[in-house]
Chain A
Amino acid sequence: MKKENHNQVALEVHDLTVAYHTRPVLWNIDFEIPPGKLVAIVGPNGAGKSTLLKSILGLLPLSSGWVKIFDNPYRKVRQKVGYVPQRGSVDWDFPTTAIDVVCMGRYGKIGWFRRPKKEDWEAAEKFLAQVEMEKFAHRQISQLSGGQQQRVFLARALAQEADIYFMDEPFAGVDAVTEKAIVRLLEELREQKKTVIVVHHDLQTVKEYFDWILLLNMRLIANGPTEEVYNEDNLRKTYGGRLAILSQAADEVAKGRL
């Protein structure tokens, strides 16, 4: 039964509308993503990319619509979901080491009250090595470079041993070495038939790195295999014009609801 679902849809978002306070930021987003794809969510600043990710993960309340991951609500399949938040979302001066952060990825599997066991630390070490950070395992996290911090976050998501990963701007502000490491990692994940959904902002590389694209600008513009979706027409729709009406509508709704 599970196997069958895997073959159908990894992520189904149905008619999702999300508002910050009263202002709608995402309108009626509706799409499905098949398993085993590397998916890029692409759109301009303020298009609602991170909002989409957070609302899929239940971190933001939905105005309407629902989300299913492997045909189940998120609550039921938490163990199968990995998450890489934006690097700026935490205090990097927190007194903890790289390996400790990676081990946090295991907490969900460990459950309440119990401590990480030896296997968990070994797993954390393994995943840290997978992003080529084993040398820095016991480094305090503020002493890592931006790219290294990002790799620690990726390793933490890997430690969740999930089937579907959500990554919020993992390529933002990283060095070339880290970018290569992330790309290699993404490919490994694809080989393992995992689904990876990445918020991405670099149009130059999106075609090269990803095989599925979701174009977003307050509403869904296109969703499909890269070769079908990545074209000038769609990009123009995403990045240029025609938004005036939608954002004015958002303003008026926000004002009306105040």
Chain B
Amino acid sequence: MDWKNEILLFFTNEGMNRRMVLIGSILLGCASGIIGTFALLRRQSLLGDAMAHAALPGVCLMFLITGLKDPFLFLIGACISGFTGALCVIGITRYSRLKNDTAIGLVLSVFFGVGIVLLTYIQQSGAGNQAGLNTFLFGKAASLLQEDVRVMVTMCGLIIFFIVLFYKEFKILSFDPNFGASLGFSIKFLDVFLTSLVVLTVMVGLQAVGVVLMVAMIIIPPAAARQWTEKLERMIIISAFIGALSGALGAILSTLIIKMPTGPVMVLVAAFFLGLSLFFAPNRGLLFSWYRRWSQKRKTRIENILKAIYKVGENSQNYERFIPLNEIKGYFSAPLWLLRLRLRILHLTALVEYHPQEVRLTSVGFEQAKNTVRKHRLWEAYLSNAMDIPHDHVHRDAEEVEHIFSPELTSRLEEYLDSPEHDPHGKSIPNVNGNNCNS
């Protein structure tokens, strides 16, 4: 395949079709990213699924009634029956004891079934041709026409216009509808209006990517965007951006490089972005929280080593001497070579002085060890003095919190306990400033 030619072709007249595909996919991704954000936050993502499937009978009926193959008429038919589907879902949940999920599944499949009946009826009477259903199911992104793109531009523009106009109202509708109602906003109107926008987006998107994958486009970009920000307006922008990027990459990948259907490739690109966001987003990302957990674990490990050296020193009342390794190795379950390795690292970070076989704390290491022990014993004292927990139950708890407590909390604890000198086991609680334990 000649890349250069392919790319050149894109900008020539023959590339018109490809340009349309690209522009259409970008617009679609953008619109569904924006509208999907609200659907996601209102937990209505799968209502879009029901709407998308419910569109089929509307399209068929429109054809049966008018006998015309006008995409605009089809769009109107799809919107009407999609909206009816959404109403049915709401009605079934309100007027029967069935739950939302059952209503969605029911509407989705029954409407679709009716649609298939109508479609095959049309086919049997010879009025339509086979192409209709395939388009409906998988879209025809690869053959988007100029007028399709024009519809998409209009839709995208409308959606952005209304979202900007009603931003504040839609926000309160999604966050706290009751409060919104108490402020005097008509929540029912906003609800219907936002739902109509979702219907419009889904229906326009249907012809490009098809039923199932349209659902993906309103769910995945917002879910990915949510990982990157804690602000609604940014989430909308990021979601639109991810949607548009998925559209663009999907179109490019499927038409220029590998010959694959555009819709599914678009969805896979979006899913790739979701995976990326889940792992790499700051704060919410998995990688980030793994790192946080790992660094807490590492801190615990270091402090336990320092504490062990400190305790041996405390027993002999001499913190200055070098301690032979076999005196502290009993404190750990880890094998000796691992302990050696860790001590060497601590040596490098200047927390201990480590020579083969013996070790002692540096002054920095000593302070940190003392602090850990102090937190441990203060907490033990607090649990047994203030909370009346028996002596032999407090150690385990303190083992954990000694690595977590902030200095503020520690000094508040100390203040509360009136600077005790000894923990419940009779061990002395080291002071931060002086060194009350040194003989």
Residue positions of A touching B, CB distance < 8 A: 54, 57-59, 75, 78, 81, 83, 85, 89-91, 94-97, 100-101, 104, 107-108, 110, 112-116, 140, 156, 160
Distance in Å: Cβ of A2 to nearest Cβ of chain B: 19
B231–A89 touching, CB < 8 Å? no
Contact A96-B169, Cβ < 8 Å, known A59-B178, A81-B182, A107-B183: no
Question: B185: CB under 8 A from chain A?
Answer: yes
Distance in Å: Cβ of A196 to nearest Cβ of chain B: 16
Distance in Å: Cβ of B297 to nearest Cβ of chain A: 22
Kindly identify which residue among A97, A101, A114 contacts B230, using a CB–CB cutoff of 8 Å: A97
Nearest 10 pairs of A and B residues by beta carbon: A108-B183, A140-B230, A83-B182, A78-B184, A90-B176, A95-B235, A57-B182, A94-B175, A95-B232, A95-B230
B175–A104 touching, CB < 8 Å? yes
Q: Which B residues touch A58, using CB under 8 A? A: 181-182
Bound Cα distance A58, B186 (Å) = 12
Contacts A/B (CB < 8 Å), 13 sampled: A57-B182, A58-B182, A83-B179, A83-B182, A90-B175, A91-B41, A94-B41, A94-B175, A94-B232, A96-B171, A97-B230, A104-B171, A114-B168
A96–B232 touching, CB < 8 Å? yes
Contact A96-B182, Cβ < 8 Å, known A89-B176, A91-B175, A107-B168: no
Kindly identify which residue among A90, A100, A160 contacts B231, using a CB–CB cutoff of 8 Å: A100
Q: Which A residues touch B178, using CB under 8 A? A: 54, 59, 85, 89
Bound Cα distance A97, B169 (Å) = 17
Q: Which A residues touch B167, using CB under 8 A? A: 115
Question: B229: CB under 8 A from chain A?
Answer: yes
Contact A116-B176, Cβ < 8 Å, known A57-B182, A95-B229, A96-B230: no
Question: B370: CB under 8 A from chain A?
Answer: no
Interface code B33-44, partner A: CB below 8 Å = 1, 0 otherwise? Answer: 000000001000
Q: Which A residues touch B172, using CB under 8 A? A: 104, 107
B176–A113 touching, CB < 8 Å? no
Question: Which residues from 215 to 248 on chain B have a C-beta closer than 8 Å to any C-beta of chain A?
Answer: 226, 229-232, 234-235
Bound Cα distance A67, B231 (Å) = 38
Question: Which residues from 386 to 431 on chain B have a C-beta closer than 8 Å to any C-beta of chain A?
Answer: none
Q: Which B residues touch A90, using CB under 8 A? A: 175-176
Question: B135: CB under 8 A from chain A?
Answer: no
Supplied contacts A95-B232, A107-B169, 9 more A-B pairs, CB within 8 Å: A78-B182, A85-B178, A89-B178, A94-B174, A96-B171, A100-B231, A101-B175, A110-B168, A113-B166
Question: B165: CB under 8 A from chain A?
Answer: yes
Q: Which A residues touch B175, using CB under 8 A? A: 90-91, 94, 96, 101, 104
Distance in Å: Cβ of A118 to nearest Cβ of chain B: 15
| Closest Cβ neighbor of B184 among chain A residues | A78
Bound Cα distance A95, B233 (Å) = 9
Distance in Å: Cβ of A183 to nearest Cβ of chain B: 23
Q: Which B residues touch A114, using CB under 8 A? A: 168
Kindly identify which residue among A59, A91, A97, A113 contacts B181, using a CB–CB cutoff of 8 Å: A59
B231–A97 touching, CB < 8 Å? yes
Bound Cα distance A104, B229 (Å) = 19
| Closest Cβ neighbor of B183 among chain A residues | A108
Distance in Å: Cβ of A169 to nearest Cβ of chain B: 14
Q: Which A residues touch B226, using CB under 8 A? A: 95
Q: Which of A58, A91, A110 has the most C-beta atoms of chain B within 10 angstroms of its own C-beta?
A: A91
| Closest Cβ neighbor of A92 among chain B residues | B175
Distance in Å: Cβ of B229 to nearest Cβ of chain A: 6
| Closest Cβ neighbor of A166 among chain B residues | B182
Interface code B155-171, partner A: CB below 8 Å = 1, 0 otherwise? Answer: 00000000001111101
Bound Cα distance A156, B178 (Å) = 14
Bound Cα distance A37, B420 (Å) = 48
A108–B231 touching, CB < 8 Å? no
Distance in Å: Cβ of B240 to nearest Cβ of chain A: 14
B184–A104 touching, CB < 8 Å? no
Q: Which B residues touch A108, using CB under 8 A? A: 183-185
A85–B231 touching, CB < 8 Å? no
Q: Which B residues touch A101, using CB under 8 A? A: 175
Kindly identify which residue among B168, B176, B235 contacts A85, using a CB–CB cutoff of 8 Å: B176
Q: Which A residues touch B179, using CB under 8 A? A: 83, 85, 104, 156
B231–A104 touching, CB < 8 Å? no
Distance in Å: Cβ of A59 to nearest Cβ of chain B: 6
Q: Which B residues touch A140, using CB under 8 A? A: 230
Interface code B180-193, partner A: CB below 8 Å = 1, 0 otherwise? Answer: 11111100000000
Q: Which A residues touch B171, using CB under 8 A? A: 96, 104
Distance in Å: Cβ of B410 to nearest Cβ of chain A: 19
Bound Cα distance A101, B232 (Å) = 11
B183–A95 touching, CB < 8 Å? no
Bound Cα distance A54, B184 (Å) = 14
Bound Cα distance A78, B172 (Å) = 17
Distance in Å: Cβ of B228 to nearest Cβ of chain A: 10
Bound Cα distance A58, B180 (Å) = 12
| Closest Cβ neighbor of A79 among chain B residues | B184
| Closest Cβ neighbor of B175 among chain A residues | A94
Contact A104-B230, Cβ < 8 Å, known A110-B168, A112-B169: no
Bound Cα distance A11, B185 (Å) = 22
Q: Which A residues touch B181, using CB under 8 A? A: 58-59
Bound Cα distance A106, B42 (Å) = 22
Distance in Å: Cβ of B202 to nearest Cβ of chain A: 23
Q: Which B residues touch A160, using CB under 8 A? A: 183
Q: Which B residues touch A107, using CB under 8 A? A: 168-169, 172, 180, 183, 185
| Closest Cβ neighbor of A157 among chain B residues | B179
A96–B231 touching, CB < 8 Å? yes
Distance in Å: Cβ of A127 to nearest Cβ of chain B: 15
Bound Cα distance A59, B172 (Å) = 15
Question: Which residues from 118 to 177 on chain B have a C-beta closer than 8 Å to any C-beta of chain A?
Answer: 165-169, 171-172, 174-176
B185–A95 touching, CB < 8 Å? no
| Closest Cβ neighbor of B225 among chain A residues | A95
| Closest Cβ neighbor of A141 among chain B residues | B230
Q: Which A residues touch B176, using CB under 8 A? A: 85, 89-90, 104
Bound Cα distance A72, B184 (Å) = 15
A95–B41 touching, CB < 8 Å? yes
Q: Which A residues touch B232, using CB under 8 A? A: 94-96, 100
Distance in Å: Cβ of B420 to nearest Cβ of chain A: 24
Distance in Å: Cβ of A104 to nearest Cβ of chain B: 6
Q: Which A residues touch B234, using CB under 8 A? A: 95
